[in-house]
Amino acid sequence: MPACYLRKYCFGLVVLTFLALSMSRAHAQTWVGSTGTVDPNSTNLVKYINGRVELRNDAPVGSVAFIRYNVLPVRDLASDLNSIEYRVFDARFLDDGAGHVFLSLIQVNQSTGVLTTLMTFDSNAFSPSASYQRGNTPGNPTFNFSWADSEAFNPSDSVYYVEAQLSRSAAGGQAGLAGFSIKKIVP
């Protein structure tokens, strides 16, 4: 197997392991993610280290690497929220203050092609750290998924993906992603 496929495979295993370990919180449901696909224009900007994706040390200041993760209708992701439940991103990330990690959950309506951002995660909302840390999105996004998985036509059917952006604002800035999950919080 070529090295690039092994790195993508290993990164996917780390994401799935992270998701499985994060299921220990009694008030939250966690869903399985997918392996990230690096945008073809970003392949020279990222590196894989022990299952994490990070900006390369030689990536220019101001460059942005894009990685896309398909979201599938598994577990509670396929069920609607009740009136008190909400969703959050739970991410393990690296941002030393000159790096930046930004996640967006995107809905693509299959009938219209309209893209809607449902939820975001911004590493700038957390204190900078030279090591990986874990953070959850604030607030309470209350949306239900409308999956394009039925045999009958439904104009609201959609597909979903998470777009991760890694960037740096100064020389030496570090940005990385070790995994994330979308959780349903039951207060």
Stretch 140-164: mean pLDDT: 84
pLDDT tens profile 33-72: 568 899 999 999 999 999 899 999 999 999 999 999 999 8
Structure tokens of 85?
Answer: 């439940």
pLDDT at 149 exceeding the cut of 80? no
More confident residue, 129 or 1: 129
pLDDT above 90 covers what percent of the chain? 56
Residue 65 forms part of a structural domain: yes
| Predicted local distance difference test score (pLDDT) of residue 72 | 85
Residue 58 forms part of a structural domain: yes
More confident residue, 26 or 11: 11
What's the chain's average pLDDT? 82
Q: Say whether 31 sits in a helix, a strand or coil.
A: coil
Domain that holds residue 111: 3-144+155-185
More confident residue, 76 or 92: 92
Residue 150 forms part of a structural domain: no
Residue 133 forms part of a structural domain: yes
Residue 41 forms part of a structural domain: yes
Structure tokens of 130?
Answer: 């030279």
Domain tally, the chain: 1
Q: What is the pTM of this model?
A: 0.80
Spatial separation of the C-alpha atoms in residues 148 and 35, rounded to whole Å: 20
Phi/psi of residue 38, nearest 5 degrees:
-75, 135
More confident residue, 87 or 148: 87
Residue 149 forms part of a structural domain: no
The domain that holds 77 is classified in CATH as: 2.60.120
Spatial separation of the C-alpha atoms in residues 134 and 94, rounded to whole Å: 9
Beta carbons within 10 angstroms of residue 88's beta carbon: 20
Q: Work out the pLDDT band at 169, boundaries 50, 70, 90.
A: very high
pLDDT tens profile 86-134: 899 999 999 999 999 999 999 999 989 999 999 999 999 999 999 999 9
Using only the alpha carbons of the chain, give its radius of gyration. Answer: 17
| Predicted local distance difference test score (pLDDT) of residue 42 | 96
Residue 24 forms part of a structural domain: yes
Q: Do residues 167 and 56 make contact, with C-beta atoms less than 8 angstroms apart?
A: no
